[in-house]
Structure 1
């Protein structure tokens, strides 16, 4: 028999690492999005604002050509690139500090221009003045790589009322991105919501809105937003959005939400890696005993989504070499062939010897077991045991028949039998019947049945 072992739960850790990190998504950058220039509104500046405007524009035009400004911009850009590429919290914190210092140094270089822009904001009294003051602020912000000033400039332009509705939505998207990068998540939410209300749909804005909640420790609200965004996109929902839902739910210990996002992931993107992630999440967030674990691990076998030695050991233990020797032996051999199990390991060799020694007698008992299960006097337990035996030997047709008999008997463990009936139907290619069967499973097994249903559905889908 397999002796109990403790394994580092690396499968889930590795699987989660393949998803989007919980720290957030990069905010949108205006320079990266190719857009048609907005049609310039008709502007008439007030006499009081005109001198401030002319002085500021002249100063900004001259600063753009100055060697000290050019050098400062190059240093700040290099620091930002280093921050974006840094890996690990310590490295990112250190790189962020250098980036902030470079931006501050560049700000010192353009201190006079900054004062000129402040003067322009102060002098602006009419909507037209405020629109142009915003343009000046945006120009300075882009020159000095000052995202707060860029945001202030864009906000002034939007608040002036001189920006067309469609362009205002786009500007709000940029404002939200700049607020996000400045870690003002409340401001980012307000801007993203205004952009969405204005009809803006580009740049993954719904996902960024969800991230503005996650990064502000408002997990439940963020998950609602993310779930709605995924539902709105349907089959086109980005894979990384769904993975983000899993990661955030898992870390917040929200099992129902983690299970729901896991189902969405394998329904939309049924890769081996995603099956491994979905199965690992459900396994780690549920209180399964051996019988439930067995049916979940059977799904791992069908999807070939093994990740580590733990997967094989838990399957072997759930199957039990003394009870389902053929199935246990198959898993042991798969584990050895994969290199995850070592034949010389005492736990492995003991389990293999027990399973090998039991198979002949176990096979010989199948005829009598089927006869007793089909007898009118047979109990639900006998019919279920017969179905279990034939399912473990890969005879899905006989397993299906005996599970149907078990369901007609009093005292049947309906969730368990329905799960395995659905598995047998899936193995037989009866994917529609299997999905209907899995839909009847309730209680602790419901998440397992939901994943199996997603697998059955994927088997029915035409090849791409």
Structure 2
């Protein structure tokens, strides 16, 4: 055996050209080169391989490398064969040869700590492109564990996990890197949040969807993201009654209602027109102005407007006396809640918040509903901190999710 200090590719005269896209550069500095022992049988193939590569005769170079591979018995020899294979792939722009070289190098213990993250990342890319997602996941995880890696490694790891049926793990991967990047003061692409939300929704993993969509809305509070987050959650949770009304009120408050389908407007109106006709009329007219509803062709729109508009004047008078009526001896939880909702429908948010707080003191009160609606009302009245304090009291169910979204909206108003 002959001893020779061989820098990766350099000592053999091989150009370690930088790889692009999914092919990271693998270069070594001479002062960090390991001591490598090669037999004469191996070395006699590497010299001609070097000359062939210089002449861009990659087929001939490959023949010599194949012969060296057949003769290689030690880790040193297998590592160098893999290194030369990698460089042939780089120079020939042959990704299959690059992938083979990377696999061979990583199969030994000779890869330096400096090069391990790049090589393992490349191995993950190779496996990912070959749709070998378990191998890609293993390689990406090894790359991350061995040192700093490019952002796309995390994104591809998550996608490999998802494609391998590991949705919860995939979302957790994205959440971790998002949190780490945010803690480091770095921005995360919106697509990462969107991909995580899509993964969670496809798997019907509501808690994970709420977690990542809330982070998405805080980082990118645009109306389209609000629409997508609220409407996908609505589809996942399939709420009814008060729970659905609260989601639709949130969507409207975010300004994303015009991005929704016509059915969102009519669902909203149907939920409120019998008790709070002004709110129903206002919502339907917003839908008409947005070009989503046409009374001529929409029977629901036409009929609800006809039923509700004549009642608005009387309700407007009732709103003016709602506080006094709610403070009377005969006031109940339901009557005070109705007065609060009526006030909300007229945009009297401060009064509505006060009445929701009063409703909370009545026997039989649903604390989650009143605290949620009080918080939403306070935020819309301009009292952000008071609103967030009320929302923090919401404990369970869909109301807790909606309260979380409202808290995000308070701190990150939706932009167009």
Q: Aligning the two structures, in what range does the TM-score lie when normalised by the shorter sequence?
A: 0.7 to 0.9
Determine the structure 2 residue equivalent to 1:30. 19
CA distance in structure 1 between the aligned counterparts of 2:114 and 2:100, rounded to whole angstroms: 19
Structure 1 stretch displaced more, 270-279 or 367-376: 367-376
Equivalent runs, 1:284-433 vs 2, <5 Å: 284-306=235-257, 307=259, 308-320=261-273, 322-345=274-297, 346-433=299-386
Determine the structure 2 residue equivalent to 1:92. none
Distance 1:196 1:247, change over 3 A: same
Secondary structure of 2:128's match? helix
Please report how far the alpha carbon of residue 276 of structure 1 lies from its aligned counterpart in structure 2 after TM superposition. Answer: 0.5
Equivalent runs, 1:176-215 vs 2, <5 Å: 176-215=124-163
CA distance in structure 2 between the aligned counterparts of 1:296 and 1:364, rounded to whole angstroms: 28
CA contact (8 A) 2:82 2:100 kept: yes
Equivalent runs, 1:25-424 vs 2, <5 Å: 30-32=19-21, 37-40=27-30, 41=33, 43=36, 45-62=38-55, 64=56, 110=59, 113-234=61-182, 236-306=187-257, 307=259, 308-320=261-273, 322-345=274-297, 346-424=299-377
CA contact (8 A) 1:56 1:117 kept: yes
Match of 1:457 among 408, 411, 416: 411
In the alignment of these two chains, the number of paired residues is: 387
CA contact (8 A) 2:170 2:196 kept: no
CA contact (8 A) 2:24 2:118 kept: no
Please report how far the alpha carbon of residue 368 of structure 1 lies from its aligned counterpart in structure 2 after TM superposition. Answer: 4.0
CA contact (8 A) 2:24 2:122 kept: no
Please report how far the alpha carbon of residue 338 of structure 1 lies from its aligned counterpart in structure 2 after TM superposition. Answer: 1.0
CA contact (8 A) 1:369 1:382 kept: no
CA distance in structure 1 between the aligned counterparts of 2:239 and 2:406, rounded to whole angstroms: 16
Per-residue CA deviation, residues 28-82 of structure 1 (Å, 9 max, x unaligned), is: x9314786943142555432211111233334444x36xxx8xxxxxxxxxxxxx
CA contact (8 A) 2:120 2:142 kept: yes
CA distance in structure 2 between the aligned counterparts of 1:400 and 1:143, rounded to whole angstroms: 69
Please report how far the alpha carbon of residue 288 of structure 1 lies from its aligned counterpart in structure 2 after TM superposition. Answer: 1.4
Please report how far the alpha carbon of residue 444 of structure 1 lies from its aligned counterpart in structure 2 after TM superposition. Answer: 3.1
Per-residue CA deviation, residues 316-344 of structure 1 (Å, 9 max, x unaligned), is: 11222x32121111111111111111131
Q: Gapped runs of 5+ residues in structure 1?
A: 1-28, 70-109
Distance 1:455 1:427, change over 3 A: same
CA distance in structure 2 between the aligned counterparts of 1:187 and 1:292, rounded to whole angstroms: 44
CA distance in structure 2 between the aligned counterparts of 1:46 and 1:35, rounded to whole angstroms: 28
Secondary structure of 1:348's match? helix
Secondary structure of 2:303's match? helix
CA distance in structure 1 between the aligned counterparts of 2:202 and 2:19, rounded to whole angstroms: 32
Distance 1:54 1:36, change over 3 A: closer
TM-score by length of 1: 0.77
Superposition RMSD on alpha carbons, in Å? Answer: 2.5
Secondary structure of 2:65's match? helix
CA contact (8 A) 1:131 1:157 kept: yes
Match of 2:399 among 424, 441, 445: 445
